[in-house]
Every structure is written in structure tokens, then in C-alpha cells.
Amino acid sequence: MYRTNTCGELRLANVGQTVTLAGWVQRSRDLGGMTFIDLRDRYGITQLAFNMETNAPLCEQARKLGREYVIQVTGKVIERSSKNTKIPTGEIEIEVAELTILNEAKVPPFTIEDQSDGGDDIRMKYRYLDIRRNPVKNNLIMRHKMAMLVRNYLSDRDFLEIETPMLIKSTPEGARDFVVPSRMNPGEFYALPQSPQQYKQLLMVAGMDRYFQIVRCFRDEDLRADRQPEFTQIDCEMSFVEQEDVLNTFEGLLKHLFKEEKGMEFGAFPRMTWHDAMRRYGSDKPDIRFGMEFVELNDVAKGHGFGLFDNAELVVGICAPGCAEYTRKQLDALTDFVKRPQVGAGGMVYVKCNADGTFKSSVDKFYDAEALKAFADKMGAKPGDLLLILCGPAMKTRVQLCALRLEMGNQLGLRKPDEYAPLWVIDFPLLEWDDETQRYYAMHHPFTAPKPEDEALLDNPSRWGDIRANAYDIVMNGVEVGGGSIRIHDRTLQNKMFHTLGFTDESAAAQFGFLMDAFTYGAPPHAGLAFGFDRLCSLFGGVETIRDFIAFPKNNAGRDTMSGSPSPIAKEQLDELKIELKK
């Protein structure tokens, strides 16, 4: 071992001991008579002291050490004269007697500090230096701890972690697969799993009863800011359970994580149906850290000669508390916000509920004070509040208002990163209509069970949109952290579901035949849930981007700029695989 102690553990109690430390030169201060070096490792920073008077050659050697040099020192632990209360080792320093340079270092291309001067691109290219910085390092440590907590919690509850294959069968349904050409079976391909969905269901058929896996998944989708081609799921499945059992089990897991990792305790997580979530927040993943719930205004809005409202399917608004003083400029900015293509509203109506009891709106032409008071009353507004109103087709308008509500939440500082508001969203629709392809798709996946009381509607195509699924999402702070469903374990129902989704018997058999076969040999009732682990970590870290919680992430073009991957491969490799590049 190159050290007797880490750089994070020496205290006053160790004074007098002779120790050996190894680590990186974080910083060096030459005060003439003394040279001080902050020595860093994963565990902390310890100050090294070199004295020009007592050991000039050593001190001079120390002065030549560059940033990020790897060194080993031996010396005595002494009490510091001027203590640093900011770090746990701040009461001591090492009076160095021996110094060995283990490795030199070029000057790093950005500062290895909590606040680095390096931009995103250069930090990604030199990710191994970026990880030396506390924020990234601590994220990875937290991720490790979370994974350990999850595993021990589930294992203690009879869940078995079972590894499922990474080289599986490609299924055209759903997102795009990454594929892997098989050399031994020319012309054939494996796919990388988008999730172990079918395998975990097979494990239930196999009687494994409770399965989990922290597992890498892959999706070849066009990447958005916060999406990675490979990501990690906490994937779970249970047999002989009902929805209530699943919700309680994984609510318990989340509470355990909150308690152990953040010291936070929660009562029962609230639950909301998908329909309520859409009606009250315009989102299936509402951020309920703050109120500002939607108020539907058709009855007070219509019939005043304002055509936009009169002709709209829905007039709906939120009440922004204490914002009546918003300036023209601020209001214009909000209007611009909702008109951005990402939001897509035609415009925004505001009503200021002034502190003096008067009203001022952008539609004063059509609504007198009394009419505006009706808006305010309906929305429970107090003097000083600001009403923001959108109108149009119901669902579309709700989604637009959701964006505005979150923007107001941001502006008012109501979305605090250290506050957590978990929520179960339940009773999702089973099927989702797609205008483009003019057909229904499974909202979760084709194995999700309809609510038994809605099952009969499967025979009535005109009511397919009304069928509710035994599907649930766990949502936190406006982010979907996980989701799952009761699975169909009955083959007849599964076949009906496939037909609903436009599969022929043949295409269903070609894709899912082995799962369907399995269901004929005694499939138990089962259900499951999967958490997005990268996302869960970033949420616990109070940070938006999942990249900060992945050791070696890829950029938005799917590239690892550090290793230069993907890259061309040798012609011999292609030949062996019996494939060629298309010109």
C-alpha cells in the first residue's frame, strides 16, 4: 500500500503519528519560509507543510510540484496553527519528511475545482479529470449508495436480482432497437434490450415470484438534451399481487431511499388518476410542490362577446399569487412564452386583481369589473393576484397551460430542488390514438392489463379511448421517475389486445410467440414497475441533467468524445459479419 491513511481521515487525535499519504496536488502556496500543499484524494484534502528552514531541499522540491501531480509523502501529523474549519481535516497538517513523485501531470485543460472554468464539451472530452471535481465525484458516490440501498431493500423483501440477456430478439414495436450483427448466424441480428420486459414476465411464469434488476437498457432514438442511448433501470416484477401491493412495495422503497440518503420522512404518497392529473395540471406528471391548479372558466368566460373564448372548447386559467404588479414587459414575455412553438398557444389573457380591489385585464373591452370579479371569485384569487388564462381545444390547451404553470412556478421560486413531492398517477388510458398512423397504440406496452371493469370495452372499438389500464406512474417534482402496470396473464385477453393494436396472429406470433407460448403453461397474475435510475439519481441530487450522474455519458449525437466512439471499423470486421456499408 502506498499510504497508511487517506487524505480525508486524519484529525487532532492523530497528532504525533507518522503517516504516509498519497494523492494529487490540489493547490500549492509558497509563503517564503513555508510551502503548503493541499493533497487530495477521493476521501478529502490534507494540508502538507514544508519548512524552508528545517529542510530546504525538500521544500524546494515541493515548490516545483505542479497541479495534479501524483505524490506520496511521509511525515508527522501536527496541529495547525491557523485552523481551517471548513474541512474535516482542517485542524491538522503533515510536517513532511519524505516526498516521492509517483507521476507527473500536464496542466489540466480546466480547473479541478467545484466551480470549474471548463465548458461542457471540454469537460466531457476529459471526463476523467471532470470526475476529480467534487460535484461529479459526489454524484457517482451517491449513485453507488442509492444502488446499494435499492438492492438491499429489495433483497430483504425476497426480490431476487436475476440477470437477463443483453443480446435479445429485435421487436419492431416501440422505440427503435440497437442491433448487433451475428457473425455465427450471417444475415441475422441480435437487439440490445429496450427493457427486460418480456424476460421479467417469463421469470414470473418461471415461478421466481419477485424479480428485480438494476439493468442497462438501450434505445436508438434521436437524442434530446436529457436522453442517453444507454440508460439504467431499476426493473421489478412481482407475482400474485394487485396494484395496491405494487404501489405499497415501491412507495416503501422510495421512502427508504429518502430516509437513508436525505434524512427525509414522508407520509403516504398522494394518488391521482390520469384524468384528474390532466384536468388539474395539464400533465400526466404534475409538479405538486406548488399549487396554482387549473380552474376551468367556461361558465364565466363565455357569452360576453369575446369570440376566442366563446368558440373555445375550454377556457382555463391559473392564479399566480402576488403577481398583479407584473409589468407590461413581464406580461408580454409570458405571452411570448406561450406562443413559442414548443408551447404553441395562440395567445394569453391576463386579469390583474389589483390590491385596491379593481381589475385590469387584456380583455377589458369584453369584460367589465363585475365579469372580471366572477373570474377572480371562481379562481379563488385574492387582491394582488394575477390570473393567466388560455383557451382552445381542451387537451391541447391544458398541456399549454401546464407549461405556463411550470414557468410561473420557476419565476416565483416555487420549484425548490431540495423539496420533494412524490405522487402516484394511476388509471392511465390503456390505448392512445395516433393521428398520423390513424391507429391506437399501447400507452404503456402491449402487456398492460385493462381495468377488469373496462375489459368489455375492448369489444367496442368506438370506446377504446375510454378503456382505463391498471397502469401507474410514480412522479416527482414534475418528472416521471417510474412506471408500471398489472400485466395480462391470460392468453385470450392478450390475443385480443394484440388485435386491438393491429397485430395479425402471425405478426404477434413472430414477435411475441414465445411469451404467448409461455402463458399457456401456467402464468401467475403478475405486475411490475421500472424506475429510471439515472433520473432518480439526478432528482435526489437536485440537478436537472442525468449526464451529471453517469460516469461516461454520450453527447446529443450519441458520441463519446473522450474515446472517439462510435468509429469506423476494419473491413475485415465487416466481412466477417457479412455486411457492408451502403454507399
Residues 11-30 that bind a copy of itself (CB under 8 A): 22, 24
CB 525 within 8 A of CB 207: no
Strands 479-486 and 439-442: unpaired
Q: Is 505 in the site for a copy of itself (CB under 8 A)?
A: no
Q: Is 328 in the site for a copy of itself (CB under 8 A)?
A: no
Stretch that binds a copy of itself, among 47-55, 180-188, 321-329, 443-451 (CB under 8 A): 180-188
SS3 of residue 286 by DSSP: coil
d(CA 80, CA 82): 5
Q: Is 65 in the site for a copy of itself (CB under 8 A)?
A: no
Out of 15, 78, 87, 166, name the contact with a copy of itself by CB under 8 A: 166
Least separation in angstroms between CB 503 and a copy of itself: 15
Whether omega for the bond prior to residue 566 falls within 30 degrees of 0, making it cis, is: yes
Stretch that binds a copy of itself, among 157-165, 380-388, 408-416, 427-435 (CB under 8 A): 157-165
Three cell numbers at 500? 386491438
Q: Nearer Cβ to a copy of itself, position 365 or 578?
A: 578
Least separation in angstroms between CB 528 and a copy of itself: 15
Q: Nearer Cβ to a copy of itself, position 208 or 331?
A: 208
CB 164 within 8 A of CB 197: no
Site for a copy of itself in 188-207 (CB under 8 A): 188-192, 198-199, 202-203, 205-207
Q: Nearer Cβ to a copy of itself, position 143 or 468?
A: 143
Site for a copy of itself in 69-108 (CB under 8 A): 69-70, 72, 102-106, 108
Measured from the Cβ of residue 580, the count of other Cβ atoms closer than 10 Å reads 9
Q: Is 489 in the site for a copy of itself (CB under 8 A)?
A: yes
Total binding residues toward a copy of itself, as defined by CB under 8 A:
125
Q: Is 581 in the site for a copy of itself (CB under 8 A)?
A: yes
Question: What secondary structure does DSSP assign to 317-362, as a single string?
Answer: EEEETT-TT--HHHHHHHHHHHHSTTT--S--EEEEE-TTS-EEET
d(CA 159, CA 146): 17
Out of 173, 177, 237, 473, name the contact with a copy of itself by CB under 8 A: 177
d(CA 241, CA 257): 23
Q: Is 40 in the site for a copy of itself (CB under 8 A)?
A: yes
Stretch that binds a copy of itself, among 65-73, 269-277, 408-416, 442-450 (CB under 8 A): 65-73
Least separation in angstroms between CB 84 and a copy of itself: 21
Phi, psi of 150 (to 5 degrees): -60, -50
Site for a copy of itself in 224-243 (CB under 8 A): 229-230, 232, 240-242
Q: Nearer Cβ to a copy of itself, position 398 or 487?
A: 487
Q: Nearer Cβ to a copy of itself, position 40 or 255?
A: 40
Least separation in angstroms between CB 248 and a copy of itself: 10
CA angle, 481 then 487 then 491, to 5°: 155
> What are the angstrom distances between the C-alpha of 544 and each of 139, 193, 549?
13, 26, 10
CA angle, 372 then 377 then 380, to 5°: 125
Least separation in angstroms between CB 461 and a copy of itself: 27
Residues in the chain, overall count: 583
Nearest to 481 by CA among 440, 527, 530, 411: 530
**CA–centroid distance for 130 within its chain:** 21
Strands 479-486 and 160-161: unpaired
Q: Nearer Cβ to a copy of itself, position 217 or 403?
A: 217
Q: Nearer Cβ to a copy of itself, position 308 or 509?
A: 509
Q: Is 2 in the site for a copy of itself (CB under 8 A)?
A: yes
Out of 58, 129, 295, 508, name the contact with a copy of itself by CB under 8 A: 129
Q: Nearer Cβ to a copy of itself, position 339 or 445?
A: 445
Task: Tell me the HSE value of 474 on the side-chain side, using a 13 A CA sphere.
Answer: 28
Draw the binding track, 431-470, toward a copy of itself (x: CB under 8 A; -: no contact).
----------------------------------------
Three cell numbers at 512? 411475441
Least separation in angstroms between CB 3 and a copy of itself: 5
CB 57 within 8 A of CB 104: no
CB 72 within 8 A of CB 102: yes
**CA–centroid distance for 67 within its chain:** 35
Site for a copy of itself in 512-531 (CB under 8 A): 513-514, 518-525
